Amino acid sequence: MPEPDQMTKYLLGILFALLIVACNPKKSQSGIKMTNCIALEFVLENEATADSLKEFLKEIPMELYGWKNHLVLFGDLADTAGVGRVMAQSGLSVKTKQYIQPLYIYDKSSNCSDTSLQKPWKNYLLTANLVEDTILQKEYVAYHNTQFEEWPEVAEGFCNADFLQLLVYRNGRQLLLVISIPADKTLDELNPKTVENNPRMDEWNQIMANYQEGIEGTSAGEVWVFLEPVK
């Protein structure tokens, strides 16, 4: 791994690239425009070093999530400015991944008959891998590219559950799922409504399961894992 001063240059290079290719984030009274947000994932050697890095990352004004030796910052691109400095200060060996443009965007304000967006909202972050077969990976992406036209029941399920937004990011084989819901609700409460009187949604979920598997560190049969908010 690079020395701390090299790490700083490395991360600043990542952030400069993000400034070029990502959308300009905008904030309003309703909060962050989620489709303009990015995520940075930090994979540490073990959970102990991840705990150490948490304390450094807490000073970054972004949402921080964690699972085992994985930490994820999610939020406004403009708020990533101090990440390189913080990483240099930590002196930790870390692998960094970036999630910039979602491969799939569901947005209640444009995909539902009820376009009202209740505020405030909260985010759930989950991650999984695509299977190694590259042909199957392309099929997965193709399904999402045509989902609104060929599988409209999926978005209808999200609307029925009052999901405000759902984003799927990809970095290599790894997927990052962001589900945004009203802050006074829980995902356990709303998610069952996506399949309520909606057999096509059940069918969609069964098909998607053929393309997904757990990331390193998951248990046998475990696929999607929740990245828990770090307070």
Look at the chain and report how many structural domains it folds into.
2
Is residue 161 domain-shared with residue 218, that is, in the same domain? yes
Is residue 219 domain-shared with residue 115, that is, in the same domain? yes
Task: Reply yes or no on whether the pLDDT at 127 is more than 70.
Answer: yes
1-32 pLDDT, tens digit each: 344 444 444 454 544 444 333 333 333 334 44
Is residue 128 domain-shared with residue 208, that is, in the same domain? yes
Is residue 60 domain-shared with residue 156, that is, in the same domain? no
156-179 pLDDT, tens digit each: 999 999 999 999 999 999 999 999
Is residue 9 domain-shared with residue 92, that is, in the same domain? yes
d(CA 218, CA 220): 7
Q: Would you state the pLDDT for residue 77?
A: 87
pLDDT, mean over the chain: 88
Within 13 Å and on the Cβ side, how many CA atoms surround 41? 22
Q: Would you state the pLDDT for residue 161?
A: 98
CB 187 within 8 A of CB 163: no
Is residue 87 domain-shared with residue 119, that is, in the same domain? no
* CATH number of the domain residue 157 falls in: 3.30.70.100
Is residue 91 domain-shared with residue 118, that is, in the same domain? no
Is residue 116 domain-shared with residue 87, that is, in the same domain? no
Average pLDDT over every residue of 94-113? 95
CB 165 within 8 A of CB 34: yes
